[in-house]
Amino acid sequence: MSITADQIDANAVGQTLRCTVAKAPRAKAATDTIARLMRLDPANVKSLRRAQHLRARRMNTYIRGNRVWHSREKAARVVRVAAGQSWDLPMNPTIADDLKAVASYLSIEKA
């Protein structure tokens, strides 16, 4: 049973939603919003946190001009917005408006 944009507010806080990208958006703003929602998946949060610790551990420190400089790696792109991508999303009131904004591109179900 798919949830429509009107029913997003009716979901209980803490409930897990299963989101699937039905159609990849062309607009950059919608793509960025979906990517931000995908990064809230607990598995993606864990991999982002682990990558952050590894980047800090591998940070290149050098002295130039009698000052300490740091050369950091660029952050990895953990999520990719494409049709068919699925993720679990813990529902909270702060993401309701984001879900409504991109509901036309997503298929949302209760997990």
Q: Is the pLDDT of residue 2 over 80?
A: no
pTM (2 decimals)?
0.84
What local confidence, expressed as pLDDT, does residue 3 receive? 75
Tell me the DSSP string of 36-97: HHHTTSHHHHHHHHHHHHHHHHT-EEEEETTEEEEEPPPPP------TT-EEEEE--GGGHH
Question: Tens digits of per-residue pLDDT, 57-81?
Answer: 999 999 999 999 999 999 888 999 9
What local confidence, expressed as pLDDT, does residue 62 receive? 95
Question: Tens digits of per-residue pLDDT, 8-51?
Answer: 777 677 889 999 999 999 999 999 999 999 999 999 999 999 99
